[in-house]
């Protein structure tokens, strides 16, 4: 029997699953996240917490949470928690790998298509009364079929992206921390260094986790290596891109456009210059947001909590 704090209302039956396992569950009822002082107070009284990507759990919060045994992040990314600091304090950290890969790749591909074919810009224009005639030159986009897709980070989501690209007869190049010969054979994709990938790709899609080696990996230099027509798709984390450099590149026509499900910070303040570009699409960090997938992520997080509170090893440990 443990006290479980869940930082947001979650879809599916995970709360019932935790209660059926004998745990007392408190769900933060508001639309926004618990403020840091509230999160610290709840963690201080909890044996387990289910956290979201926007819940920054600091080492000082962990210092005042002597009972806490597990932080089950309802996400595959866990850059909102320092797993090493948690481990020092005996707190297990878990995530939700795999279960969201297809859904997230669906969204990354949707963003790619929408940017390539001006779906959002033309919808916006139509609603504003801009559809006055059929024009042979209106909203000319780029073909997706036959184009080159550059995948940065060929993990679960990157691979799901490669599978989609095959169906569109795209040429796929990738770069990753380690080479993936099996994926190369299966998807016919080719490993290249990041510079070559940026130079060759019509679409660059980011699928790396945010960590010390990926923070700011797409900066001014990298953007200059891209084709002037190329579109950057980011469903990874906002901080993987140097956002100031991206704004400058869009302003100066260095790249063709961007489709961003993640930004720095989140939410992106309305005065941010990114909103001023018609060739930029911004969605509010929803790549894994299908009902079925979010429910599975919540169940996976609940299963990790149940395992740890039962004295077992977590199912999806990250520390």
219 binds ligand NAP (CB under 6 A): no
If one asks whether residue 108 binds ligand GLV (CB under 6 A), the answer comes out as: no
Backbone torsions φ then ψ of 311, nearest 5 degrees: 85, 10
- The runs of H, that is alpha helices, within 67-137 are 83-88, 101-116, 119-127
Residues between 202 and 241 with contacts to ligand GLV, criterion CB under 6 A: none
Nearest-approach distance from CB 100 to ligand GLV, in angstroms: 6
Helix (H, G, I), strand (E, B) or coil at 298: helix
Considering only residues 83 to 102 of the shown chain, the ones binding ligand GLV according to CB under 6 A are 100
- Check if the beta carbon of residue 296 is closer than 8 Å to that of residue 12: yes
Applying CB under 6 A, does 214 fall inside the site for ligand NAP?
yes
Among 50, 62, 76, 300, binds ligand NAP (CB under 6 A): 76
Which class for 12: exposed (0-12), middle (13-18), buried (19 or more C-beta within 10 A)?
middle
**Beta carbons within 8 Å of 125's beta carbon, 6+ residues apart:** 131, 139
Asked if 139 and 118 count as a contact pair (C-beta separation under 8 A), the reply is yes
8 binds, among ligand NAP, ligand GLV, none (CB under 5 to 8 A by kind): none
User: Whose Cβ is closer to ligand GLV: residue 15's or residue 100's?
Assistant: 100
- As a whole number of angstroms, the distance between CA 241 and CA 234 comes to 8
Nearer to ligand GLV, 75 or 250 (CB): 75
Give Cβ neighbours of residue 202 (< 8 Å, ≥ 6 apart). Answer: 142, 147, 148, 149, 227, 229, 230, 231
Backbone angles phi, psi at 96, to 5 degrees: -125, 70
Q: Which is nearer to ligand GLV, 156 or 242 (CB)?
A: 156
Q: What is the CA radius of gyration of the chain?
A: 21
Q: Which of 36, 141, 209, 273 binds ligand NAP (CB under 6 A)?
A: 209
Stretch that binds ligand GLV, among 21-29, 43-51, 72-80, 110-118 (CB under 6 A): 72-80
- Residues of this chain, 171-200, that bind ligand NAP according to CB under 6 A: 175-178
Q: Which stretch binds ligand NAP (CB under 6 A): 26-34, 99-107, 182-190, 263-271?
A: 99-107
Q: Which listed option, ligand NAP, ligand GLV, none, makes contact with residue 210 (CB within 5 to 8 Å by class)?
A: ligand NAP
Q: In this structure, what are the phi and psi dihedrals at residue 221, rounded to the nearest 5 degrees?
A: -65, -45
Q: Which residues bind ligand NAP (CB under 6 A)?
A: 76-77, 97, 100-101, 104, 153-158, 175-178, 207-210, 213-214, 235-237, 261-262, 285, 287-288
């Amino acid at each position: 029997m443990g006290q479980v704090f869940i930082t947001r209302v979650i879809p599916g039956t995970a709360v019932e699953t935790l209660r059926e396992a004998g745990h007392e569950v408190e769900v933060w009822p508001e639309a926004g996240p618990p403020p840091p002082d509230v999160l610290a107070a709840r963690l201080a009284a909890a044996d387990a917490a289910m956290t979201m990507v926007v819940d920054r759990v600091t080492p000082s919060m962990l210092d005042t949470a002597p009972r806490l045994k597990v932080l089950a992040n309802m996400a595959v990314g866990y850059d909102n928690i320092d797993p090493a600091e948690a481990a020092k304090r005996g707190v297990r950290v878990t995530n939700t790998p795999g279960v969201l890969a297809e859904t997230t790749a669906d969204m990354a591909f949707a963003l790619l298509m929408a940017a390539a074919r001006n779906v959002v810009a033309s919808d916006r224009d139509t609603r504003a009364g801009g559809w006055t005639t059929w024009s042979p030159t209106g909203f000319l986009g780029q073909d997706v079929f036959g184009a080159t897709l550059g995948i940065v980070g060929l993990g679960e989501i990157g691979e799901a992206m490669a599978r989609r690209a095959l169906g569109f007869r795209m040429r796929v190049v990738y770069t990753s921390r380690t080479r993936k010969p099996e994926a190369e054979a299966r998807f016919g994709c080719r490993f290249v260094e990041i510079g070559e990938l940026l130079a060759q790709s019509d679409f660059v899609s980011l699928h790396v986790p945010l960590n010390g080696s990926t923070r700011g990996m797409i900066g001014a230099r990298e953007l200059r290596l891209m084709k002037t027509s190329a579109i950057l798709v980011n469903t990874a984390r906002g901080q993987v891109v140097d956002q100031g450099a991206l704004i400058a590149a869009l302003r100066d026509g260095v790249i063709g456009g961007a489709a961003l499900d993640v930004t720095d910070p989140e939410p992106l303040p309305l005065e941010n210059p990114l909103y001023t570009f018609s060739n930029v699409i911004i969605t509010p960090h929803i790549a894994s947001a299908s009902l079925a997938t979010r429910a599975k992520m919540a169940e996976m997080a609940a299963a990790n909590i149940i395992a740890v509170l039962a004295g077992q090893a977590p199912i999806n440990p990250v520390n």
